[in-house]
Amino acid sequence: MRPEGPDERNPFRGILGKTMATHFPDTRNDLISAAMYCFAEHGYDGASIRMIAQRAGRPVSLIGHHFGGKEGLYLEVFRYLIAGGLTSLVKEGDPPPDSVEEAVRTFRGLICALYASACPEDPAMDDWRRMGTRLLLSEMRDPRPEILALLQSHLQPWVDRMKVCIKRLRPDLAEAEVILLGTSIMGQVGSQSLMAGVTRAIWGRPDLDAVRSAEILAEFCLQGLGVSPRG
């Protein structure tokens, strides 16, 4: 029987297997998780398909069979990183907030959803998040159009709903001001994940669960907007 926990060839087998096993056969699971490790450690150009296949313990030919080559595998890694973490940030069919009180509640919910997806509490996910963060940061410097399209498709519903909330809470703001505040709010939440290693080294690990952390960030952002956190 194949082991479920991490092994020397593929330290992410157990981590990714928990969430991917129901969607992908073992072969795709192994190749995607090994590729994430190799791309994060060596970059796109430095990670060869032979290196990835060797780490996954699979034949090189299967990369072409499942993904069409290294570029397709790279895109699939990001599809998993983005879709696996950012789905269900906004419930489809939810009506827009029609009052300040409802906008405050929706605003809180959006921040909590983004925080929960960006900052998983499971310690077993620390290596996964570290590698994923390294990959995301490398793409942010010069993003490929395909990666931008993935980010947009999964984040746009959250962005659209956040803009509606900000406009409801601060109807005096111009569109450019709403966008500036929205990107600042997203940055505050995202930095909790992207800078987790540096933050822990400098500040230490906060003794707060994800729910309370998200609530504090939501209150901080609401106060920055000049809105009472209580609505």
pLDDT band at 121 (very low <50, low <70, confident <90, very high): low
CATH topology (fold) of 13-83: Arc Repressor Mutant, subunit A (1.10.10)
Which pLDDT score, from 0 to 100, does residue 83 have? 67
Query: What are the residue ranges spanned by the domains of the chain?
Result: 13-83, 88-224
The reported pLDDT for the residue numbered 165 is 95
Mind listing the pLDDT tens digit for each residue in 38-77?
Answer: 998 999 999 999 999 999 999 999 999 999 999 999 999 9
With cut-offs at 50, 70 and 90, classify the pLDDT of residue 221: very high
**pLDDT at residue 135 tops 50:** yes
Residue at 164: amino acid letter? V
Is the pTM of the predicted complex or chain greater than 0.75? no
- Looking at 2.30.30, 3.40.630, 3.30.1460, 1.10.357, the CATH number of the domain 88-224 comes to 1.10.357
Of 105-114, 130-139, 165-174, the least confident? 130-139
CA distance 35 to 57: 12
Q: Are 168 and 103 in contact (CB under 8 A)?
A: yes
- DSSP secondary structure letters along the chain: ----S--SS-TTHHHHHHHHTTTS-HHHHHHHHHHHHHHHHHHHHH--HHHHHHHHTS-THHHHHHHSSHHHHHHHHHHHHHHHHHTTSS-TTPPPP-SHHHHHHHHHHHHHHHHHHHS---GGGHHHHHHHHHHHHHHHHS--HHHHHHHHHHHHHHHHHHHHHHHHH-TTS-HHHHHHHHHHHHHHHHHHHHTHHHHHHHH---S--HHHHHHHHHHHHHHHTT--TT-
pLDDT, tens only, 72-99? 999 999 888 876 555 556 776 678 898 9
Bigger pLDDT: 204 or 71? 71
Cβ atoms of 32 and 26 closer than 8 Å: no
Of the candidates 60, 52, 65, the one whose C-alpha atom is nearest the C-alpha of residue 25 is 65
- Give the tens place of pLDDT for each residue, 8-42: 444 444 434 444 433 445 888 889 989 999 998 99
Tell me the C-alpha distance between 12 and 182, whole Å.
Answer: 34
Count CB-CB contacts under 10 A for residue 51. 18
